[in-house]
Amino acid sequence: MDTVLLLALVSSMLRATTPLLFAALGGLFSERSGVVNIALEGIILFGALAAAVTAQLIEAPAVAQAANARVWYAPWLGVLAAMAVGGLIGWVHAVISIRYKADQIISGTAINLMGIGIPAVILSGLYGNTATSTPIRNRLPSWELFGIDGLAFNPLVYLAFLLVPITWFVVFRTPFGLRLRSVGEHPEAADSLGINVFRMRYVGVVLSGVLAGLAGAYLSIGNVNQFVSEMAGGRGFIALAALIFGKWHPLGVFGATLLFGAFQATEVLLGGGRLLPPTLVQSLPYVLTMVVLAGFVGRSIAPKASGKPFEK
Amino acid sequence: MSIVSERLALFLLAVVAALAVLVAPWAAINRETGARSAVVLLPERVVDFTGRTDPVDLPAQGTVFVLTLVGLAGVGAGAAVRGRGRYLVWIAAGVVLVSGTLYGMNRFYAGVANARQQAFVNEVQRGLDNPRPTVDVAALEQVLAAAGERSLDENLAASADAGLVVRRLPYSNAGFGMSAFLALVVGLFAILFGLRWFPAASRAIDRLLRGAAVPAISILLALLAAAVVILALQPTPVGASVEIDGLFTYLVGRLDTLWYAYYSMFHDSLGTVNGFAESLKFSTPLIFTGLAVAFGFQAGLFNIGAPGQMVMGAIFAMLAGLYVPGPRLVVMPLAILAAALGGGLWGALPGWLKARFGANEVINTILLNFVAASVLLFILSSGNVFAAAAVRIIVVIGVFVALMIVLSLIRPVRALVARAPRVALAVGAVVLLGACIVAGLPQPGDTPVRLQMPFKVPGNEPKSQVLNAAAQLPQLPAMLGIQRAGVNLVSLDYGLLLAPVAALLALLLLPRWRAARPWSRRLPLALGVGALAYGVAWLLGWTSLPTAIPPTKLNLSFLLALLAAALVHVVLFRTRWGYELRAVGLSPRAAEYGGANIARNTVMAMAISGALAGLTATHYVLGGALEDYSLRQSIPTNDGFDGIAVALLGANQPVFIVASAFLFGVLKYGGSVLNITFPNLTREVVSMILALVVLFIAARGFLPQRLFDPRTWMGAESGPAKDDANQKRTTAAEEPT
């Protein structure tokens, strides 16, 4: 295998891993606090939409005057908007499943359904079509890894990988992390020690929304330059599978998302219609995810109170 | 006792309706393309957004205005009356409101019909003044002379026969508006609540309100949220010469836009034969997917895989429809079974993964949706591939799978794998992946081959060939013996529709009357009611009404869906296995202790759930609902997700699922009407409404608990609970008992 192919494989693997990593780390915060967040997929879509629309609207006045106008802050504000919107949708999920004690899966599914319908409505209002947003011209900068030619990524990729040790430190080495884990394992005990179970869960779910929003921002303005309807393509669910596979531990999640990223990168290698029909290769990551899930899930132990509403 | 403070509710409704009478359009005399309108407010105020609508002489507006205000005042005053007297006030006020509004609508449509007739006469006169060569002048003069005695449709046909085709008559889309609708609703509610004067009716109404409260409020909230979106996206459509000046005009325009959006969403579906048939068409697959999701829910499983199961059912049905030879009686049932089998297998797979490995069915069903979508795309596409490389990869995977099977049969190896660290298994997966990549790398001598499935049509269009005639399900108009739908009027017997409904209703309601409870009396009585209904229909002349049968794609599949609902009901609630299944759904551990086999039940429940989703293929493939009788890539798999909303709204009960699927069918067809009617609105507004309905139902905890928690209302029926704050508030609003 020559270097060019290897570099292409590595870089497409890292690119494919990034959104999965964001979303899976988000899921980690939520599930460690005891709330199953199947809404990740929908939140990714909302984040992607928010990032693309915000960046496009901010650069629009300048671009209208000069087509190659440089508005360096537009994509960054897009990223911030994605985090804010992701957090907001996460908060909606939190309110429904924590405050109103709804079935967390159903609440998440409702948000995923909204992720299909609402972006189309917003796009039609802004751009007159229901499928895509207007492409942005100002992209995030590209930074080379170790100065290697051909291995250049935008800052969100570095952020995703940086978040792994940060998450590990926060969850396992800070009082906040201890509280977060305790309300996910045994909320009654945590409550009796004076920890506000509801507040910890709100924080966990909103954080997961912020991170999933980042995943969306990466997909729409990091990886490409516009929002395309249903562009999450199941990454939210693959991230959940990676979370289970990675034993709800940041380092495990890191390994799992790398593996799934490699699955997705095979699309690049085998795809393009050269070797196998691309239509069939597209399904490979999903099949492999299922195989891995079936092989490992039995021995992964979820946070004990995950999925159960807390009754004080 | 009442579950809502009925006095407050009715008072607020009356106030809202009164405000609406002042600023919201009562009716629209004209609606142009682009949703520009000319609206009428009571009394005799016209706001014209088209800029070119001639005013129409509408009779009796003053009377209707007075009746409406009197009725609304009566409803409001009734809320202030202490004691049971208010019920009588409400009934009286409600009757005034309803009859006043209906009278007003009747006069309104009469006025519009007059105006249209007049416009027709003008057109014919103009045609006679400057006759074109195609026009038969003598015949047209006869038409003009007889115009007064004929209906407009007859007149149009006659003038067309005489060579003058009158195409554009004004006022064609006239309809009533927001304030008339609100007045009618308030009137009906006033009568409904007024009926609580009778104790038996009071209990029935309480039950009805309790059952309907959560879904009704959820739908209402979703529609309100959609209203914000509609108002934000769609400015008031106005003609070229019209400017909106002043707060009043602005308000009227906004309210009319909102009203017309909902009116166009619901009117065609519920008010025209064609729209009704289209709504039923849209609801057919939703019944299947709703049942599929509900069946899973009842067994404690969440099947989000209906889209994938739909695809697999469609593929199997297509294969059966193309390759099974024989007469219709054999092929058609086989093709239907194939649809169920395809979906069932695709559903059983995640069921088995859950039962065997404990893998979460939610994630697996979703992943299988993506797999099914790419399989569908694969078999319906064509392209050049390096077949040799593909074969090598398939061989590698095949060897790997065979090895796994052989190894898993050897007990010590299986034990070893069971104890192996996950890293080893991950390494195994990576090795497999690497082997696939290496095998897939192009070798010298590989040549591309064109890949095309035998059942795909030649060319690039992603669809299969048309199925054998023997496998095609008949369309409903054809089943009624109507061959050329949409062309001529057919005399239909609506009594045959009415009588069974009346008999069924009687069958369900008769047990309320103790003497009629035993079947020996109930059945003949119900049949009598049915016969009576037919007699009434005959007296009204409904037994032979000329009806334009629309060219609908509604087909046998709709009846199959109803049959499936009945079957699911029987299986779940009338069989031992259904009981076991529901027990597993409620509490797996308790059910297992009671002797239920969890693993088998999980697989079976998922298989049946998948089969129900797969049966949507009877509509989309065998029923030819998408253009022709073939499998297309455009098969709308989102119906699988909408099934979740249908199941939740229908509380997982087959009967209610049929009802909620119909509602969603109405909304979906309404969405397509909305798309056409308004320049700035898309049908996606509807999918947003569906998602919001699920959200609000999921979050029903934000509603007052007494609306949905049986424990609180059982207490409420036996008497006021003493320590419940909600109960106290209700009691305070009631008269002291």
SS (H, E, C) B194-236: HHHHCHHHHHHHHHHHHHHHHHHHHHHHHHHHHHHHHHHHCCC
Question: Is B422 within 8 Å of A277 when comparing Cβ atoms?
Answer: no
Q: pLDDT higher for B96 or B519?
A: B96
* Residue pointed to by tokens 């926060």: A170
Residue B100 has pLDDT above 50, yes or no: yes
pLDDT exceeds cutoff 80 at B437: no
Q: Is the predicted pLDDT of residue B641 greater than 80, yes or no? A: yes
Give the percent of chain B with pLDDT over 90: 30
Tell me the per-residue pLDDT of A209-257, one tens digit each, with 9 for 90 and over. 999 999 999 999 988 999 998 898 889 988 988 888 788 999 989 988 9
Give B620's pLDDT tier (boundaries 50, 70, 90). Answer: very high
Check if B309 contacts A (Cβ < 8 Å). no
Handedness of CA B613, B619, B623, B628 (dihedral sign): negative
Cα angle B491, B493, B499; round to 5: 170
Subunit contact A277:B641, Cβ cutoff 8 A: no
> Is B685–A121 a contact, with Cβ atoms under 8 angstroms apart?
yes
Q: Which residues of chain A neighbour B686 with C-beta distances below 8 Å?
A: 117
Is B381 near chain A, with CB under 8 Å? Answer: yes
Q: Which of A51-60, A190-199, A291-300, B511-520 has the lowest mean pLDDT?
A: A291-300
Q: Which residues of A touch B364 (CB under 8 A)?
A: 290, 293-294
> What is the residue-averaged pLDDT of chain B?
83
Mean pLDDT along residues A88-107: 91
Backbone angles phi, psi at B436, to 5 degrees: -60, -45
B367 to A290: CB separation less than 8 angstroms, yes or no: yes
**What integer pLDDT is reported at residue B483 of this predicted model?**
61
Please give the average per-residue pLDDT across B509-537, as a whole number.
82
B692 pLDDT above the threshold of 80 = yes
Say if residue B711's pLDDT is above 60. Answer: no
Min Cα separation A282/chain B (Å) = 7
Question: Does the structure show a pLDDT above 90 at B291?
Answer: yes
pLDDT band at A190 (very low <50, low <70, confident <90, very high): very high
Report how far residue B567's alpha carbon sits from residue B577's, in angstroms, rounded to the nearest whole number: 13
pLDDT band per the 50, 70, 90 thresholds, residue B489: low
Residue A154: phi and psi, rounded to 5, are -85, 165
Contact B429/A291, CB-based, under 8 Å? yes
A-facing residues of B in 215-244 (CB < 8 A) are 229, 232-233
Say how far apart CA B667 and CA B645 lie, in whole Å. 13
Looking at residues B421-428, what average pLDDT do you find? 65
Q: Which residues of B165-191 are buried (b: 16+ CB within 10 A; e: fewer)?
A: ebeebbbebbbbbbbbbbbbbbbebbb
CB of B702 less than 8 A from some CB of A: yes
Q: What is the distance between the alpha carbons of residues B18 and B72, in angstroms, rounded to a whole number?
A: 7
- pLDDT number for residue B44: 74
Q: Where are the domains of chain B?
A: 6-197, 385-451, 487-548, 704-737
Q: What band does B376 get if pLDDT is binned at 50, 70 and 90?
A: very high
The answer, yes or no, to whether the previous bond of B43 is cis (omega within 30 of 0) is yes
Distant-in-sequence, close-in-space partners of A95: CB < 8 Å, separation ≥ 6? B699
What is the pLDDT averaged over residues B140-163? 81
Lowest mean pLDDT among A10-14, A58-62, A293-297, B198-202: A293-297
CA–CA separation, A24 and A17 (whole Å): 10
Pairs of CB atoms within 8 A across A/B: 194
Give long-range contacts, CB 8 A cutoff, 24+ apart: B395-403.
B395/B439, B396/B432, B396/B435, B396/B436, B396/B439, B397/B432, B397/B436, B400/B432, B400/B435
Mutate to test the interface with A, among B641, B684, B702, B709 (most CBs of A within 10 A): B684
Residue B250 scores a pLDDT above 60: yes
Does the distance separating the beta carbons of A234 and B644 come in below 8 Å?
no
Q: What is the mean pLDDT of residues B27-33?
A: 83
Q: Collect all residues of chain A within an 8 Å Cβ-Cβ radius of residue B684.
A: 117, 120-121, 124, 130
pLDDT at B226: 92
> Which of B203-212, B482-491, B512-521 has the least mean pLDDT?
B482-491
Could you tell me what percent of chain B has a pLDDT over 70?
89
Kindly list the residues from chain B whose CB atom is less than 8 angstroms away from the CB atom of residue A110. Answer: 691-692, 694-695, 698
Q: Which of A286, A271, A282, A6 has its CA nearest to residue B389?
A: A271
How far is C-alpha B206 from the geometric centre of its chain's CA atoms?
Answer: 26
B357–A294: do the CB atoms touch at under 8 Å?
yes
The answer to whether B357 contacts A282, with C-beta atoms less than 8 Å apart, is no
Separation CA B28–CA B677 (nearest Å): 15
Q: State whether A130 and B699 contact (CB < 8 Å).
A: no
| pLDDT tens per residue, range A114-155 | 998 899 999 988 888 888 999 998 888 888 777 676 778 889
pLDDT at B721: 37
Does residue B491 carry a pLDDT above 80?
no
- The reported pLDDT for the residue numbered B737 is 32
Instruction: Say if residue B204's pLDDT is above 60.
Output: yes
Asked if the model's pLDDT at residue B727 lies above 60, the reply is no
Backbone φ, ψ for residue A155 (5° rounding): -55, -25
pLDDT score for B1: 40
The Cα B256–Cα B178 span in angstroms is 7
Flag whether residue B532 sits within 8 Å of chain A, measured between CB atoms: no
> Distance between CA atoms of B452 and B50, rounded to whole angstroms?
55
A232 contacts: CB under 8 Å, gap ≥ 6: A41, A42, A44, A45, A48, A115, A216, A219
Q: How confident is the model at residue B507 (pLDDT cuts 50, 70, 90)?
A: confident
Of B374, B682, B694, the CB nearest to A113: B694
Given a cut of 90, whether residue B96 has pLDDT beyond it is yes
Parse chain A into domains and list their residue ranges: 3-299
Give the residue, B430 or B350, on which the prediction is more confident. B350
Cβ–Cβ contact B301 with A under 8 A: no
Chain-chain contact of A298 with B358 (C-beta, under 8 angstroms): yes
Contact B379, B635 (CB under 8 A): no
Q: Cβ–Cβ of B682/A130 closer than 8 Å?
A: yes
Burial class (CB in 10 A: 0-12, 13-18, 19+), B524: exposed
Q: Which among A92, A274, A283 is the nearest to B386, CB-wise?
A: A274
Strand bridging mode B489-492 / B545-548: antiparallel
What's phi and psi for B456, nearest 5 deg?
-80, 145
Of residues B186 and B48, the one with the higher pLDDT is B186
* Mean pLDDT of the B505-526 span: 77
Judge whether residue B728 has pLDDT over 50.
no
Per-residue pLDDT at B200: 81
B281 beta partners: none
Q: Give the minimum alpha-carbon distance from A99 to chain B in angstroms, rounded to a whole number.
A: 8
Q: Do A121 and B688 touch (CB under 8 A)?
A: yes
pLDDT reported for residue B132: 78
**DSSP annotation of A134:** P
Once rounded to an integer, what is the mean pLDDT over residues B100-122? 87
Q: Which residues from chain B sit within 8 angstroms of residue A262, using beta carbons? A: 430, 433
Per-residue tokens: B346: 């695709």
> What's residue B563's pLDDT?
93
Residue type (1 letter), B585: G
Alpha-carbon distance A190 to nearest alpha carbon in chain B (angstroms): 25
Mean pLDDT, to the nearest integer, of A1-12? 75
Distance CA A231, CA A223 (A): 11
Q: Are residues A290 and B374, on separate chains, in Cβ contact within 8 Å?
A: no
Element at A117 (helix H, strand E):
helix A104-127
Q: Which residue of A has its CA nearest to B680?
A: A125
Please provide the average confidence, as pLDDT, over all residues in chain A: 87
Q: Is B593 on the interface with A (CB under 8 A)?
A: no
Contact B232, A125 (CB under 8 A): yes
Q: How confident is the model at residue B438 (pLDDT cuts 50, 70, 90)?
A: confident
Q: Which residue of A has its CA nearest to B437?
A: A270
Chain A positions in Cβ-Cβ contact with residue B377 (cut-off 8 Å): 279, 282
- Percent of chain A past pLDDT 90, that is, above it, reads 50
CA of B573 to nearest chain A CA: how many angstroms apart? 24
| Cα dihedral A114, A116, A121, A123 sign | positive
> Are B440 and A288 an interchain contact pair (Cβ–Cβ within 8 Å)?
no
- Who among B363, B682, B702 is closest to A241 (CB)? B363
d(Cα A256, Cα B425) in Å, to the nearest integer?
12
Does the beta carbon of B451 lie under 8 angstroms from any beta carbon of chain A? yes
Contact criterion met (CB < 8 Å) for A106 and B648: yes
Count other Cβ atoms within 10 Å, centred on residue A239.
32
Checking if the pLDDT of B523 tops 80, the result is yes
Q: Is B634 exposed, middle or buried (0-12, 13-18, 19+ CB in 10 A)?
A: exposed
Could B699 and A96 be called an inter-chain contact, meaning their C-beta atoms sit closer than 8 Å? yes
Q: How high is the pLDDT of residue B211?
A: 77
Domain A3-299 has CATH 1.10.3470: yes
The first and second tokens of residue B717, run together, are 């029926």
10 Å CB burial of residue A58 (0-12, 13-18, 19+) is: buried
Q: How far is A70 from chain B (nearest CA, A)?
A: 31
